[in-house]
Amino acid sequence: MAGETDEKKKLATIVKSVHKDLRRKFKAGERDVEDIWKEHCQDKGKLQEYAEAMQRLATLHWGNQQQERVHWCREMLLEYFKGGGMEKCIEKYRRRLQRQCMKDGLVDSNIAITHQNPPPQQDTKYFDKTACLPKEPLVLDVGSCYNPFKEMTEFKVIGVDLHPATEDVYQCDFISLDVVDPTESSIVLSSPITQLPSCVFNVIIFCLLLEYFPSCRQRWQCCVQAHKLLAPNGLLVIITPDSHKQHRNASMIRSWNVAITAMGFSKYKYEKHEHIHCLVFRKVQDECCVNEEMVDHMFIHQDALEENSAADMTEAYDDIPLTERDTEYIRHTMLELPGQFSDTDD
């Protein structure tokens, strides 16, 4: 038992040190984050050590935690694609849009909005459930490491990683990936993957991915890439670690929600589990709204924890019990989005 604990600490130190070193270089301000990232991608020895550490942590030491993540994703995707979840989202979105268009005088109260009779400037694809329900949904697992989501046999899963730990994962620098016209390119599964066609994936998973990047801009760019690659009504699934009480990082979750929905997503689901936040967004428009003002919204709590004063404050805050008011606040942080609809609220 002691030996397992020692190895777990050693492996965790390897992983955390890579993240911390990237943030340190970025905060030093001596080089652009692009140069820092390029240098990191060329350090094969460090990437190999990181990949092996992550694989051993997940398969040997995280145990049920990792299985719970895979199980949660599988059940959520089955609910959405096989259990009527997408149809409910489309219908709710249609009703809300109908009310809004009637309020704005864009449609007559006697005319129903459908995919055959869409409102002004709305793409019919987002109202046609038959066009968005594939028999075998295509899933892109970014930062896959060892392809844990291959267990979801109801879906076709493609795993990509900066430095794969297993042969069934393809090498790909997702943030530098070229997104091309689907009529001019198909999915070529050969390492390294340098380009992918737009609007073809039904699901994109970022499991413990965004916190790898040292800058808000890179995290934001990852979500922009996901929007471009997703098919209409496709899902972006984000799992980010947090073992603290639900309210401690509420501001981060709310901020991410604002930035991601501003791109052209609608919030589908949010759950806080013991060690993770689970966020799911549905693509609701073709055009990705690239708003530079949203970049800084993609912060993580480690960005501030590098300062001792911030660390002292959060340690003290962690001792405050979670009240009913805190729980209610968390719920509302995912709803307060001017001009945006949520799929889970009527």
**How confident is the model over 215-226, as pLDDT tens digits?**
999 999 999 999
Class of domain 130-346: alpha beta
* Domain boundaries defined on the chain: 1-61, 87-126, 130-346
> What does the pLDDT look like over 64-98, one tens digit per residue?
888 889 999 999 999 999 999 999 998 888 787 77
Q: Give the separation between CA 346 and CA 344, rounded to whole angstroms.
A: 7
Residue type, 23: R
Give residue 109's pLDDT band: very low, low, confident or very high (50, 70, 90).
Answer: low
Q: pTM of this prediction? A: 0.85
DSSP string, 218-240: HHHHHHHHHHHHEEEEEEEEEEE
> What does the pLDDT look like over 30-74, one tens digit per residue?
899 999 999 999 999 999 999 999 999 999 988 788 888 999 999
CA torsion 92→294→174→164, rounded to 10°?
-90
| 76 to 152, 220, 258, 278, 280: CA distances (angstroms) | 11, 24, 22, 11, 9
Give residue 320's pLDDT band: very low, low, confident or very high (50, 70, 90).
Answer: very low
The H-or-E segment that residue 170 falls in is strand 169-171
- For 236-258, b where at least 16 C-beta lie within 10 A, e where not — what string? bbbbbebeebbbbbbebbbbbbb
